[in-house]
Amino acid sequence: MAFYKKSLRTRIFFSMIALVIGASILIAIVTVLQYNKDAQRFHRDRLLRKEAAIRANIDYVLKTTTYPVETEQIPLIFKDKIYEIRDIHSLELFLYDLNGNLLKSSRPLFFRDTVGQKMSEYALKQLQMSPSKKYIREFVEDGQRYQSSYSYITDNYFKPLAILNLPYIEDNDYITKELREYLYRLSVAYFFMLIAGVILAYLLTTYITKSLKEVSDKLVLTRFHAHNEKIIMEDVPQEIALLINSYNEMIDELEKSAAQLAASERETAWREMAKQVAHEIKNPLTPMRLTTQSLRQRFDKNDPEIEKKIEEYTNTMLHQIDTLSSISTAFSTYAKMPAQQDETLNVVRITKLALDIFHEEYIYFHADEEEIRACFDRTQLIRVVTNLVKNSIQAIDQKKPKVPRIDVKVLRNNKQVVIEVTDNGIGVAPQEQKRIFEPQFTTKTSGMGLGLGIIKNIIETYNGTIDFKSSPEQTTFTVRFPIIDE
């Protein structure tokens, strides 16, 4: 199973190499088997040719002999002739009677040692049962392969006289040498074929996986809310072309879905914004209405305290009008994306400048360097810092710790400038942390909850990020955005 976990390129490469090696081994095995079969056939045919030649000599001896052509006379007829036949054909021969008793052998010593020895009962039975009256026995003895031929010798009237036995040793030295030479040539040819297979497998897998890798890279870069480029490739396999077409169609559908979703989100956002605006405006209108009704009911121009009451009424109305004005300003600021009037500025100096408007003694500024330069809008950077510090002050006012403290740090981290604002205020509850950057979310008793949303929009405009960590003892907001390489 580990093989299937490898890359497609690796599997194709090793599969092709294994195919070449497997084919060479299979052909070598088939070659050896075929050579063995051919060698066996060669020896059998050679034995039959020798048998035919020897039988022709025997027939000639039988025709020219002066002895009666009978089974009992076979030892006399072939007394000397059997050695001549052996020398002519380079093959030993044995003559048995029809019952399998040895009559004459081309080995005199063997004949003297084996007088009366019978031929194999199995061979005699097979010869008698053979329709062609011939039988060839194959056997192995002491690691050497033998073939032994049995056939009948007949007189002029085709009457069986004796049984001719020709033992034949299979000498495979020549064939084995030929086989080794052939296998050597075959191995050389397959060695070069293996090299060619490796090169072809490499080129083929590179060609196939190159297209797949490009498709894979595009898939990795595919984003729902971003513009995704289509894949344009030529001269690719049909299967890869179908995959590329499917991907391009998916990109079209994805862009349509993203556009529909964006439109839906904008519509939902504006509805929620309208609800929030209506809610925030309704809050100051209620006390304004009550104050106006109370003045109308209690107005008496002869009342000695009428001026004081009118002043209280006026102050209340002005306070509520200021509240409406601040609501209008906040929503207007949030709805308008920050204009990017980029400039190269010293983040350390601008951050310190933004803190100068605060008079709280528990605000401390720290910077690792005197100058860290970045591309940012000066006004919006000040807005980011002041909003974060204001939130910290409000968090401290809600908790009222014994020793209030706000730390503002500016430092460099790789290729980013980092601004950290840490306070020991009330913090953010765990169930509220996921919603802290939502436009309408706030943990304070007053305000619209738009400050952090504005900050997030500004920072993301400059390819930055904002995150926070909060606990009952300490809360830290961290802003990061790119610096300018010096």
**What are φ and ψ of residue 201, in 5° steps?**
-65, -40
- Domain boundaries, given as residue ranges, for the chain: 3-176, 238-335, 343-482
Q: 184 to each of 88, 198, 474, how far by Cα in Å?
A: 37, 21, 82
Distance from first CA to last CA of the chain, Å, rounded?
A: 53
Please report how many Cα atoms fall inside a 13 Å half-sphere around the Cα of residue 333, on the Cβ side. Answer: 22
Q: Long-range contacts made by residues 322-329, C-beta under 8 angstroms, separation at least 24?
A: 323/283, 323/284, 324/281, 324/284, 327/277, 327/280, 327/281, 327/284, 327/448
Q: What is the DSSP string of 125-177?
A: HHHHH-TTSEEEEEEEETTEEEEEEEEEEE-TT--EEEEEEEEEE---HHHHH
pLDDT of residue 421: 94
Q: What is the DSSP string of 321-372?
A: HHHHHHHHHHHHHHHSPPP---EEEEHHHHHHHHHTT---TTEEEEESSS--
Sort strands 373-376 and 416-423 into parallel, antiparallel or unpaired. unpaired
Tokens of 444: 């304070």
**What are φ and ψ of residue 465, in 5° steps?**
-135, 160
Is the separation of the CB atoms in 401 and 425 below 8 Å? Answer: yes
List the beta bridge partners of residue 95.
104, 164
Helix axes 451-461, 306-335, angle to 10 degrees: 30
pLDDT of residue 111: 41
pTM: 0.37
pLDDT tens for each residue of the chain, 486 residues long? 565 556 666 777 777 788 878 888 888 888 888 877 877 777 778 878 888 888 889 888 888 888 888 888 888 888 888 888 888 888 888 999 988 898 888 876 544 434 447 888 888 888 888 888 888 887 777 777 778 889 998 888 888 989 999 888 766 666 677 777 877 887 888 788 888 878 887 787 777 777 677 777 767 666 655 666 777 766 666 666 777 778 778 777 777 776 677 667 666 766 666 666 666 666 566 666 666 776 667 666 677 777 777 777 777 677 667 666 666 665 665 555 445 567 889 999 999 988 888 888 899 999 989 999 999 988 888 888 988 998 899 889 888 888 999 999 999 988 899 999 999 998 887 877 777 776 544 444 343 334 677 788 888 888 899 998 988 889 999 999 999 875
In CATH, the architecture of 3-176 is 2-Layer Sandwich (3.30)
List the beta bridge partners of residue 465.
480
Q: 241 to each of 62, 75, 202, 212, how far by Cα in Å?
A: 87, 89, 21, 10
Question: How far is residue 65's CA from residue 268's CA, in Å, rounded to a whole number?
Answer: 128
Is the separation of the CB atoms in 81 and 61 below 8 Å? Answer: yes
Q: What is the pLDDT of residues 339-363, one digit of tens each?
A: 556 788 999 999 998 888 888 889 9
* CATH entry 1.10.1660.10 includes domain 343-482: no
| Cα angle for residues 433, 437, 440 (degrees, 5° grid) | 105
Q: What is the DSSP string of 20-57?
A: HHHHHHHHHHHHHHHHHHHHHHHHHHHHHHHHHHHHHH
| Number of other CB atoms surrounding residue 139 within 10 Å | 9
Q: What is the pLDDT of residues 149-182, one digit of tens each?
A: 899 988 888 889 899 998 887 666 666 777 778 7
